[in-house]
Structure 1
Amino acid sequence: MTGTAHPQTPLSRRSWLARAGAAVGVMTLAACQRGQTISESLRVSAEALTRRSQRLLIPREALAPEYQPSQISPFFKPNGSIDPAASDYVALKDGGFADYRLMIDGLVEQPLSLSLADLRERPARTQITKHDCVEGWTAIGQWTGVRLETLLEEAGLMPEARYIVFHCFDALTQTEEGPRYYESIDLVDAMHPQTILAYDMNGQTLGVPNGAPLRLRVERQLGYKQAKYIRRIEAVDSFEAMPGPRGGYWPDRGYEWYAGI
């Protein structure tokens, strides 16, 4: 049976906000019962409300602004890790990434192991976009890579998959011992047409300071979501399956998990 979608009325928006407010109260009470602080619960609840509000108001496939080649920044700051010290990464780098394999597994029907040549054989997308860093600086760069959606469809997501986790080679301590960087996004952002795994930057092979051999570009979120040095992509059903409690290296340390712009 098919039906016609109706535009949302002011009354339905008010009802949604009322339900959201009630949900915040329930979550806060539940948090107190678990011993979580009220401020932490309110922060998490407000973040969820922000994400849902943005998704309600902005179409799922709305594109981030794209720019002209003449607008590309002369310098793109390679912040965070710029040269991972992990021995497995160093070995790959020393070999020109010839032995690199991207693993895609977790809640998928067909796990994948792909070389850089394999990735370059898939349809490519090039986009010139602005990187917004939480530190306050911006830069415009050109990125070329394979759409994440293409690879996830090839792997075949299982129905219970809800999040995509990016496991990285780098530790921000620049040592072997530090916790490795990771990030995650939901399926809305994973399937967005501008969400790509970039292997080229500004018309050249992606350099080590900016994330070689492969980095994420999820253009509707802030810079700390753009995971570099990706070694594995995992489909999961909850944050419990992730390396940390809040779904990302920086979210685990107090940043918002959803960094939409």
Structure 2
Amino acid sequence: MTEMSRRGALGAIGGGALLLGGCDRIAATDTARAAFLGAEGLTYRVQRLVTPRDALAPEFTGADLSPVFRANGTFMPRAPDYQALLADQFAGYRLAVGGLVARPLAIPLDQLKSLPQRTQITRHDCVEGWSAIGQWTGPALGPILRHAGLSQAARYIVFHCFDDLGGTAYYESIDLVDAFHPQTILAWALNGRPLPVANGAPVRLRVERQLGYKHAKYVRAIEAVADLRAIGRGKGGYWEDVSDYAWYAGL
């Protein structure tokens, strides 16, 4: 099956579920929500069955870069600890890696930058309907999880963030297939420069085979968990919990 036909088949099976995930007006009743969640689960299982685990999202060239990489969501986290880190140019930043790991980590930004790096030019597709192409640089997530000694009981990786939406710190999660995908990186640079604050400084997730709201900005900590029931309201992400967005937002 070609990439185009595969995506078309997945769209026919699950495209409606993704659209519903971004529109809580449609999923306004318990019956509609139940139908949506069932369709979302089917989409997830089918995509995992037909897509090779290491299949890459399309990559582009420098000539394809968007003149401006649009930012959305939070533009400036208000958390006092974030503001203190920003004032010191993130010299005191430590990325916590914990949960179901044998060796919890606290990784300084300079150390993240000294790890083997991946640079990729990819398209960011937002559920709001816009796209932009940017160049991202950062270490792959998978080797960091291996170094922390990820437990066999872990099934999901949760990202806890500095930004605050409606009194709740942003959070997102992905499964281990996406966590160990070669294009899943902890990006600290956009278009060859340190991330602007509006785009998620000092570190944001890039999980290139999913829609933009899965690409958590302002990452504070990474937590390995066995299930998602204790995360937020149990659906695995902020927008999934408050607006019934699809947890699996694969492209």
1:38 positional shift? 3.5
Output one character per residue of 1:94-127: Cα deviation in whole Å (capped at 9) or x when no partner.
Answer: 1110000000000001100000011111100000
Summarize the alignment of residues 64-103 of structure 1 with structure 2, pairs less than 5 Å apart: 64-103=57-96
> Aligned AA for 1:151?
I
Q: What's the counterpart of residue 54 of structure 1?
A: 47
Measure how far apart 1:39 and its partner are.
Answer: 2.8
Return 5+ residue gaps in structure 2 as ranges: 1-28
Give the 4+ runs in structure 1 shifted more than 6 A.
none
Which residue of the partner structure matches residue 179 of structure 1? 168
Separation in 1 of the partners of 2:33 and 2:213?
21
Shift of 1:183: 0.2
Of 192, 217, 224, which residue of structure 1 is paired with 2:206?
217
Which residue identity does 1:112 align to in structure 2?
A: L
Partners of 1:187 and 1:229 lie apart in 2 by 21
Q: In the alignment, which residue of structure 1 is the partner of 2:110? A: 117
Cα offsets for 1:167-191 (capped at 9, x unmatched): 0000134xxxx10100000000000
Is this contact kept in 1: 2:232–2:241, CA < 8 A?
no
* Cα deviation, residue 84, structure 1: 0.5
The structure that has the greater radius of gyration is 1
User: Structure 1 CA distance, aligned partners of 2:195 and 2:59?
Assistant: 19
Alignment of 1:188-203 (within 5 A): 188-203=177-192
**Letter of the structure 1 residue corresponding to residue 229 of structure 2:** E
Q: Partners in 2 of 1:150 and 1:199 — Cα distance?
A: 16
Matched residues in 2 for 1:100 and 1:198: separation?
14
Alignment of 1:104-143 (within 5 A): 104-143=97-136
Q: Equivalent residue for 1:246?
A: 235
Q: Shift in Å at residue 240 of structure 1?
A: 1.7
* Higher RCO (C-alpha 8 Å, min separation 6): 2
The answer as to whether partners of 2:200 and 2:218 remain within 8 angstroms in 1 is: yes
Aligned to 1:24: none
Matched, 1:150 2:143: yes
Aligned-CA RMSD value: 1.1
- In the TM superposition, residue 165 of structure 1 has moved relative to its aligned partner by 0.2
Determine the structure 2 residue equivalent to 1:45.
38
Q: Deviations over 1:59-86 (max 9, x none)?
A: 1100000000010000111100010011
**Matched letter for residue 170 of structure 1:** D
Whole-angstrom distance in 1 between the partners of 2:150 and 2:233: 22
Q: Percent identity among equivalent residues? A: 59
Give, in whole Å, the separation in 2 of the partners of 1:114 and 1:244. 28
In 2, the alpha carbon distance for the partners of 1:109 and 1:121 equals 23
Q: Provide the residue aligned with 2:250 in structure 1.
A: 260
Give the secondary structure class of the aligned counterpart of 2:152.
Answer: coil
Q: Which runs of 5+ in 1 are unaligned?
A: 1-35
Cα-to-partner distance string for 1:137-167 (whole Å, 9 max, x where unaligned): 0000000001000100100111110000000
Aligned positions of 1:161-180 closer than 5 A: 161-173=154-166, 178-180=167-169
How far has the Cα of 1:58 moved from its partner? 1.0
Structure 2 Cα separation of the partners of residues 38 and 109 of structure 1: 42
Which residue in the other structure is 1:29 paired with? none
* 1:255 counterpart letter in structure 2: Y
TM-score (norm 1): 0.83
Tell me which amino acid in the other structure corresponds to 1:59: P
Question: SS of the residue aligned with 1:55?
Answer: helix
